[in-house]
Structure 1
Amino acid sequence: MSVVKSIRYPIRYPNQGSRDVMTRRGWWLVVLNLIMPGSAQVLAGNRKLGRFGLVSTLILWAAAIVVLVMLLVKPTAVLGFFAQTLALWAVQIFAIGYAVLWVVLTLDTLRLVRLVRAKPSARAAIAAFAVVLLVGVSGTAAYGAVLAGSARGALSGIFSASASLPPSNGRYNIMLLGGDAGPGRDGMRPDSMSVVSIDANTGQAVSIGVPRDLDPVPFSDGSPMQKLYPDGYGYNDNCDVDVCQLNSIYTEVELYKSKLYPNATKNNSQPGIEAMRDALEGVTGLKIQYYVLIDMEGFSQLVDALGGVTIDVKQKLPIGGDENLVGVTGWIQPGVQHMNGYTAQWYARSRESTSDYDRMARQRELEDAILKQFTPLTIATKFQDIAKAGAQVVKTDIPQSSIGYFADLAEKTRTLQQQNLELVPPAVDPTDPNFDQIHSMVQKAVTPPTASPKP
């Protein structure tokens, strides 16, 4: 009977007296364990363990195929799915479980091989091959679990857990604040301010730049700051800090009036940010659903994580130095340049030899260049670096549950020419602003042109 079994089932009942047979069998088992984990146990060992390994492997393959197809068809949907906390928990648990299962299956496969019965010259090679595969596959699964964990932590640290908000008049209006906690400054203050208005269907974006020397600054109806400054912030030099500029609102509220916005922290914001939101709503006449704060001090890390940005530099700009160009460490030369994070940071910051309005325009250029770098492929290949940098640099109240939607919207935005509206001279006099005129300019910019009726 044993001879018959050996002939009919050579893997499960091999001729153990033949070293050639046992060597070939050993190679077959370790290769099968690689190609389809669990198959070695089904053929030569514990069938229950083998079936569990096969089912787990098939689930993994099916999931991988679905993800690959979706990456080709709709990559932003994949990004949106894996940006959710529950999905990342599931990935992490499955990856850890599969890593452990692979270790168990590989060690059991080595037991089934019975190396002592293989040719002495082949024993080390078979064992080494199995161990290398063990380290490679289980290590990859374990690394996937680490990535999922770091992504979950980074995303929950950046994005809000609140419910998503509907668009206003068909648009999402997002306040962008460039916070600068650079050398010689106490704390962080928003150094650049803009509102990006995005069509919720087409993705067409309009960037509205707001100068920090706008004075006075109105607040939106219902704002607690409107009650304190009914004529506008800075009217007749009325404010509670040294300089009554637009970005001083953030500082004043953070230092002296944080109780005006008791729910700010709970909503993944800050009192100063909420006051700035009320101010930019008053300036633009738009309802601002979300904000994004970028800390310029750590901004270079995000640019480096994205692989740099390409900018067409219009004029020579200093790197470092004071207003008299003392201490300049280098220059950004005119022409098309692919900048690393450090250079891009100074391209956005540099004030010497240019005006604040020039700097605002450069920051808008940089925002557009960074948006173009945020492709699904870039995020997928450099995710850990982007997540690590983003957690230190970016803060927002955009809900984590809306990441997929906004990723899809951003993909549409990338394919369209972004429109820019700068509320600066000569169109706007920051020292004597006409807000009816400004609101009209904003509405004209964000209202898509209607098709002319056919004759």
Structure 2
Amino acid sequence: MTLASTLLWGVAHLAAERRRTGLALMVAHVLMLAGVLTVFTAFSVDLLSLAVQPRWLIVLTVALVVIALAWTGVIVWSFLLVRPPRSDTVGRLLTTTLTIALCALVLAPTAYGARLAYVSRDVVNSLFSTTSSTPVVAEDPWSGAERVNFLLVGADAAPGRPGVRTDSMTVASVDTETGATTLFGLPRNLEQVRFPAGPARDRFPGGFTGSVPDTPGLLNEVFQYAEDHPDMVPGVQKGKRGPALLKQTIGDILGLPVNYYAMVDMKGFAELVDAMGGVKVTIEDPIVYGRSREGLLPPGTRKLTGEQALWYGRSRTDSDDYVRMGRQKCLLNAVAKQADPMTVLNSFERLAAATKRAISTDLPQELLPAAVDLAQRVKDTRIRSLSFVPPLINTAYPDWSQIRRKVSEALSHRPSTRSATAGRPRSPERTPEAPVSLDATCR
């Protein structure tokens, strides 16, 4: 009877001839289960948005605890009504043990769920600021923008080289209505980078030259140079100067407003891969492994550890920057595909800890629900990619007008038209036939 009451509240009460209480418990249990099933089926997409909002994570935790305590209370109450008489010592021992086990069966998942909610809340509060430069309107969180542009940065540091170098820089331009996405990859060795109007351009009117003669003045040095020279971005605090100038610079190069950035530290990326149990990739050509060429990643499909994945995306031995850029895109694509819900749940706390150490961003908490919704649309579309590497672009003498023209052509190629109710006019120069180069397909 206690076991039956665990599965359907009120069974033991009916057996004990407490019909009103038993029926009331049954109705309450059925309504509760119906509500939970409705939430997890009809509103599954909305749950993803709620999962990145700290206040709703608190509500979820409280709701889980209340349900678990109520369920445990019903189990104990049911047992007290139908337990064997005192004379039946063996029966009492067995049924008491069963009741304790049933209570644990209910409380353990609740404790785990509450723990996940707490860790999620901690990650959200650690990574995302609570203040937004512009108010977020629920009906249109992107403030009427046709596209939102995210700068995705892979940062690396090396022995004997001070500071951080942004060796991987990609702008993801996402259609806010359809989710259609185009990636624009910029090589780290782009020279004579022009800065947007302001103090940075005043210091380098002919293009960025770095700290002569210590550095060559490449695009991947802009981030650290801004951090080391406050006058390049006046009024911006340390830790934010680099992202601010890099966003402005890359936005000016592409002719796009870069709205937000996310930076992944490469060592932290290795921790993320280890936390999810490795990542499976197909290696086309042998890749030298380690700084002293002590190893080799042979061709074939294999699961890489975090350190091996780091070298897969970092190595330039017997190749070049542009081959490496392609491997980095393949690696990120593989990680995204293989980070399925079961993998994430099994390694959630390790992934959360690695995420806090590896990732920084200026995306505000207020936009997280909209970003989750946008990500779901992106998953349903084909992601196009254009990299500004030779022979398309001469990295020593870049043709800035050509880069902007190629960006405009790429964004004019739309796989589907926007709805008539969107109310967003297209630029007259955009034509559906505009070409866009695509990177090699990853396997």
233, 258, 270: which one pairs with 1:260?
233
Which residue pairs with 1:231 in the alignment? 206
CA deviation vs aligned residue, 1:200-224 (integer Å, no higher than 9, x gap): 2222222211112212112234x54
Amino acid in the other structure paired with 2:242: G
Which residue pairs with 2:222 in the alignment? 249
Amino acid in the other structure paired with 2:192: P
CA deviation vs aligned residue, 1:401-422 (integer Å, no higher than 9, x gap): 4334333433333344322211
CA distance in 1, matches of 2:243, 2:193: 15
Q: 1:380 to 1:315 in 2, by over 3 A?
A: same
Which residue pairs with 2:180 in the alignment? 204
CA deviation vs aligned residue, 1:422-455 (integer Å, no higher than 9, x gap): 1111111111111111111111122225457xxx
Q: Are residues 1:273 and 2:243 paired?
A: yes
CA deviation vs aligned residue, 1:337-373 (integer Å, no higher than 9, x gap): 3433332211111122221222112112222223333
36, 57, 72: which one pairs with 1:64?
36
CA distance in 2, matches of 1:111, 1:384: 39
The gaps in structure 2 that reach 5 residues or longer are 415-430, 434-443
Which residue pairs with 1:444 in the alignment? 409
Alignment of 1:174-189 (within 5 A): 174-182=150-158, 185-189=161-165
Amino acid in the other structure paired with 2:300: G
Q: What TM-score do the two structures reach when normalised by structure 2? A: 0.81
Alignment of 1:25-40 (within 5 A): 28=1, 30-37=2-9, 40=12
CA contact (8 A) 2:275 2:350 kept: yes
Q: Are residues 1:170 and 2:150 paired?
A: no
Which residue pairs with 1:84 in the alignment? 53
CA distance in 1, matches of 2:280, 2:26: 48
Amino acid in the other structure paired with 1:303: V
| Structure 2 SS opposite 1:247 | helix
Which residue pairs with 2:422 in the alignment? none
| Structure 1 SS opposite 2:316 | coil
Which residue pairs with 1:433 in the alignment? 398
CA contact (8 A) 1:173 1:197 kept: yes
CA deviation vs aligned residue, 1:355-399 (integer Å, no higher than 9, x gap): 122211211222222333355665566544433332222222223
Q: What TM-score do the two structures reach when normalised by structure 1? A: 0.79
CA distance in 2, matches of 1:349, 1:56: 57
CA distance in 2, matches of 1:109, 1:182: 64
Which residue pairs with 1:215 in the alignment? 191
Q: Are residues 1:315 and 2:291 paired?
A: no
Amino acid in the other structure paired with 1:171: R
| Structure 1 SS opposite 2:150 | strand
CA deviation vs aligned residue, 1:55-109 (integer Å, no higher than 9, x gap): 8745642342023313xxx744321122211210001112233333444444444
Q: 1:353 to 1:240 in 2, by over 3 A?
A: closer
| Structure 2 SS opposite 1:206 | strand
CA contact (8 A) 2:145 2:176 kept: no
CA distance in 2, matches of 1:138, 1:203: 40
Q: 1:339 to 1:205 in 2, by over 3 A?
A: farther
| Structure 1 SS opposite 2:413 | coil
Amino acid in the other structure paired with 2:398: P
CA contact (8 A) 1:160 1:399 kept: yes
Q: Are residues 1:366 and 2:321 paired?
A: no
CA distance in 2, matches of 1:366, 1:405: 26
Which residue pairs with 1:132 in the alignment? 101
CA contact (8 A) 2:413 2:432 kept: no
Q: CA deviation at 1:299?
A: 0.6
Q: CA deviation at 1:239?
A: 6.5
Q: 1:244 to 1:41 in 2, by over 3 A?
A: farther
Give the CA RMSD over aligned residues: 3.3
CA distance in 2, matches of 1:47, 1:255: 76
Q: 1:136 to 1:409 in 2, by over 3 A?
A: same
CA contact (8 A) 1:155 1:391 kept: no
Which residue pairs with 2:63 in the alignment? 94
User: Share of identical aligned residues, percent?
Assistant: 29
Q: Are residues 1:121 and 2:90 paired?
A: yes
CA distance in 2, matches of 1:88, 1:60: 19
CA contact (8 A) 2:53 2:369 kept: no
Q: CA deviation at 1:168?
A: 8.0
Q: CA deviation at 1:149?
A: 0.6
Q: 1:127 to 1:171 in 2, by over 3 A?
A: same
145, 150, 173: which one pairs with 2:119?
150
CA contact (8 A) 1:76 1:376 kept: no
| Structure 1 SS opposite 2:318 | coil
